[in-house]
Structure 1
């Protein structure tokens, strides 16, 4: 080692020592800060328990404190106490032991909203709109929905007696609880001779296997193109998303990578199998409620120019959560990384670090969004969800329709219709008649379903604004005249929007006979997104143009 090297080596060595010392000191400072604040928190709880004027529940108080702390971070970082671990497992796996029915409160008590096909509730004969008044010997007529749900759940192969009120009759059913595995694909089928449709509602265990089975079955029926519907799908297991992408693209392709603060959360997910079909034309439907794993599937297949995306911009959740075990069988679901799809883009829309600084939800500004390219060189942008290749408007409903649904009038009429008609046509072909619609209008007489039209709302807002102006007295008479002219007539709205209301009634009636599967199939009639998707699959040249490089 020459003198020059020795002289150079000494300062560099000292520099490394200083950097190491500073890093060590910073880490020590942080550890001390954590220990200090934990000690303060524990001391405070003990003093509250000793001195507070009323008795406190330490478990509840600490849980409130933990949840308030986590709310400062993001909506996905959660504390899961031991007593909630079973519910959390159900959310992530889609499995639980119970009777297989969705229940809820419709104002008059808890009722069956949907018995799932093939499970104990449906097999035993429970119907939609059955009011649950007793579970075994427990009166639940005034219980919270969660309490009734807990009573219905239990170990598989154990009996439970459910007593319900149906119309004016009180009926009891003996059920045997079973392991319930909710379907990720609640419906699939042919829309025409060549078009297959798959509704993917979740990404719990076996999602990819269910999609694979649906594709195999549809292809055996002769379909030449597929629609994969990811609308309203909140996401779930990343590995299921990767396997679904693998159904359509070759082995060895990157699907998504996760990048976080610590090395063991950094991972690149690649396809590991030969694809089921890498050539079949594919359209994916997305909307603003398609999130997380849905966005991985849609975004990866867009990045590889493998599918045309139709609908609305997706939710924009590009954060990864990891479940960490805590003491006393508690768990924490912690945001540990962001995910990046093959083009390199992250689709996370909300900047939670900036949101904490600003005190309000902060999105990534357009000026900071970056451009990336797909395999064919099409430009895609990060930072705000997945943009569809072609927009298709979602169904929008008139105020009267919202009111009739939320007021349970359509629900109650469908129940009445079901008990008066032993059978109906297939879900796709059923539509209530004009006579049925007149019966619905008669059914509404004497029932409360008031609402505010868009025009009335605009006038109300305008009136509040001009009340502060000096000229209000001069125009208030004219304003009153305008209001009287636009004051809506419920009967006119029932006629004006009858096609829309009839469609909603028909879908609700179909659910009574064909359950969840039938309701989904019925809802496809008149679906604008589905219409656009079918048009693409019928026009290979149009699909090729969309997926080609844009100049």
Structure 2
């Protein structure tokens, strides 16, 4: 026995020493490869600098090389040269210094215009309106510039002032034009003095007690909170909103994380703290470097641990939003409703570099209370699938649902990894018809008839009232809009016609087309582009899109969100569940296996 133990001990020591030697050899080879390739990079640049036909711009050339290097890893590892470090700070804090307005480029007028001022921000306070055409900022002419250029001049240091000249249409926007000298027809020139200040995008655009038609039919008061991003301090705002809703008598809660791309991990942990007891594990970070490994637990006293709760998610719910919704699901604290989330489970840490540059590096992955990882794509597999690296495209390995692993919530319910959070109740939102999309962004011939109509509507209507849920276009309004679209020659690209053309191409290639030509011709006739028919067929959704744009001009983002709740399929299902206690309780219990 002693000889056997001694032999096993020697074998263990030998194996351990062998593993250490192998690791040391691996590290040595890795370091040699790093040194070799850095030497090659330096040699390439030196020769380019010496022999390339034009003089190199070192900053531009090396920045391109660094950007290409980090892009080969994953989409979230990013390099920020000195000129872009402000963008990183804005992403982290949600703040920037400017006027607080969305701008857009009008294709027909070839000018940058005000699209949507934010409530309570300098642009709105100064009196800028949707449709104002930007002429100049101080002495800089903006009439031939793109949106990025104009935006960079509108932004600046907080507290600095400038003169903004705009043209405000005095006729319908369709009749506004410019002669060869740039002189405007149908506009009034206005000058505004605006002082820039720190702009923080509204992270909590709306909260309140629901007052939809479905909710009016019940006695239960259901609170609603919409969170658009996880910026610094947002958990405090959600906490205050939750306290206010309870004081208003809220008996249940809908927490809306749809299209929330995430942000601060710590804010996500503190938001989960509102609804679960203290010292519960919310998320764990696991990475290659030991310092990157962290476990985050709830650290604040909760506000309510028993109130029935639904979290709304969709395919654009990502990162910190997935930590929040996934943790509440794993801890059996809420029912998740909507569609599967994005699956962004990679943790980034910003690091300062020399000369005021920064890099944001993926250091670890998120693991939520059940032990599952949120990440959907394994980017370490991309090298095998990428093919031509010159394309610049990234192709990671997505795990198919059939190969996902089973995990269990605190109560024993089955959940799966493989990327993102799968809702307890799947409800797809309405599909937006192609014509609605093209009316919103502009037709194929750059006809921006919806934008023009909204600007003209605002000019002729001083107010729409204070309640966005009561604002609706009349039949006469829609008839006018419909005629405008037809008269404008608006065209768009229906998907069905595109697919039909591909089918024809394939049939001709394979030799079937001549034989089935009659059938193809008949189908082509049925798919014939008919804008007037589509305007009638999709009237309800087109009307909603127009009303949303109009409401935003008067009542800002809060108004559009509140109005949108009145025809929201996923919200209606959440309300139904919260008004069905037996079904709600059943969803939170493990199913028999």
TM-score, scaled to structure 1: 0.95
Q: Which secondary structure state, in structure 1, belongs to the residue aligned with residue 407 of structure 2?
A: strand
CA distance in 1, matches of 2:365, 2:244: 36
Q: In the TM superposition, what are the counterparts of 1:85-164 in structure 2 within 5 Å?
A: 85-107=85-107, 108-164=110-166
CA distance in 1, matches of 2:461, 2:340: 41
CA distance in 2, matches of 1:159, 1:111: 20
Q: In the TM superposition, what are the counterparts of 1:531-550 in structure 2 within 5 Å?
A: 531-550=572-591
CA distance in 1, matches of 2:488, 2:452: 12
Structure 1 match to 2:178: none
Structure 1 match to 2:198: 179
Q: For the Cα contact (< 8 Å) 1:259–1:339, is it kept in 2?
A: yes
Q: Which secondary structure state, in structure 1, belongs to the residue aligned with residue 324 of structure 2?
A: helix
Q: In the TM superposition, what are the counterparts of 1:238-257 in structure 2 within 5 Å?
A: 238-257=265-284
Q: For the Cα contact (< 8 Å) 1:250–1:271, is it kept in 2?
A: yes
Pick from 234, 239, 262 the counterpart of residue 235 of structure 1.
262
CA distance in 1, matches of 2:126, 2:552: 17
CA distance in 2, matches of 1:148, 1:295: 35
Q: For the Cα contact (< 8 Å) 1:73–1:356, is it kept in 2?
A: no
Structure 1 match to 2:436: 401
Indicate yes or no: 2:462 matched with 1:422: yes
Pick from 414, 420, 425 the counterpart of residue 385 of structure 1.
420
Pick from 339, 351, 362 the counterpart of residue 397 of structure 2.
362
For residues 41 and 521 of structure 1, do their structure 2 counterparts lie closer, same or farther at Cα, with a shift above 3 Å needed?
same
Specify every segment of 5 or more residues in structure 1 that has no aligned partner in the other structure, as ranges: none
Which deviates further from its counterpart, 291-300 or 355-364? 355-364
Structure 1 match to 2:288: 261
Q: Which secondary structure state, in structure 2, belongs to the residue aligned with residue 393 of structure 1?
A: coil
Q: For the Cα contact (< 8 Å) 2:486–2:532, is it kept in 1?
A: no
Structure 2 match to 1:412: 452
Indicate yes or no: 2:340 matched with 1:299: no
Deviation for aligned residue 1:398: 1.8
For residues 302 and 461 of structure 1, do their structure 2 counterparts lie closer, same or farther at Cα, with a shift above 3 Å needed?
same
Pick from 290, 293, 306 the counterpart of residue 317 of structure 2.
290
Task: Describe the superposition over 1:471-510 as per-residue Cα deviations: whole angstroms up to 9, x where unpaired.
Answer: 5324324422332244242212211111111111111111
Deviation for aligned residue 1:19: 4.5
Pick from 198, 222, 234 the counterpart of residue 207 of structure 1.
234
CA distance in 1, matches of 2:4, 2:424: 62
Structure 1 match to 2:479: 438
Indicate yes or no: 2:350 matched with 1:323: yes
CA distance in 1, matches of 2:533, 2:513: 32
Structure 2 match to 1:166: 168
Task: Describe the superposition over 1:221-248 as per-residue Cα deviations: whole angstroms up to 9, x where unpaired.
Answer: 2221111111111110000000000000
Q: Which secondary structure state, in structure 2, belongs to the residue aligned with residue 328 of structure 1?
A: coil
CA distance in 1, matches of 2:373, 2:271: 20
CA distance in 1, matches of 2:353, 2:483: 59
CA distance in 2, matches of 1:254, 1:537: 26
CA distance in 2, matches of 1:166, 1:278: 53
CA distance in 1, matches of 2:314, 2:396: 21
Deviation for aligned residue 1:285: 0.5
Structure 1 match to 2:244: 217
For residues 9 and 525 of structure 1, do their structure 2 counterparts lie closer, same or farther at Cα, with a shift above 3 Å needed?
closer
Structure 1 match to 2:176: none
CA distance in 2, matches of 1:58, 1:90: 27
Task: Describe the superposition over 1:87-136 as per-residue Cα deviations: whole angstroms up to 9, x where unpaired.
Answer: 11011101122212222323232222221111111111111222212111
CA distance in 2, matches of 1:533, 1:9: 61
Structure 2 match to 1:493: 534
Which deviates further from its counterpart, 507-516 or 110-119? 110-119
CA distance in 1, matches of 2:9, 2:511: 82
CA distance in 2, matches of 1:16, 1:213: 56
Structure 2 match to 1:462: 503
Q: For the Cα contact (< 8 Å) 1:415–1:512, is it kept in 2?
A: no
CA distance in 2, matches of 1:199, 1:227: 8
Deviation for aligned residue 1:6: 9.1
Q: Which secondary structure state, in structure 2, belongs to the residue aligned with residue 111 of structure 1?
A: strand
For residues 513 and 10 of structure 1, do their structure 2 counterparts lie closer, same or farther at Cα, with a shift above 3 Å needed?
closer
TM-score, scaled to structure 2: 0.89
CA distance in 1, matches of 2:339, 2:296: 26
Q: Which secondary structure state, in structure 2, belongs to the residue aligned with residue 258 of structure 1?
A: strand
Q: Which secondary structure state, in structure 1, belongs to the residue aligned with residue 249 of structure 2?
A: coil
Q: Which secondary structure state, in structure 2, belongs to the residue aligned with residue 524 of structure 1?
A: helix
CA distance in 1, matches of 2:490, 2:404: 46
CA distance in 1, matches of 2:74, 2:579: 43
For residues 7 and 550 of structure 1, do their structure 2 counterparts lie closer, same or farther at Cα, with a shift above 3 Å needed?
closer
CA distance in 1, matches of 2:400, 2:117: 45
Deviation for aligned residue 1:373: 0.7
CA distance in 2, matches of 1:469, 1:14: 65
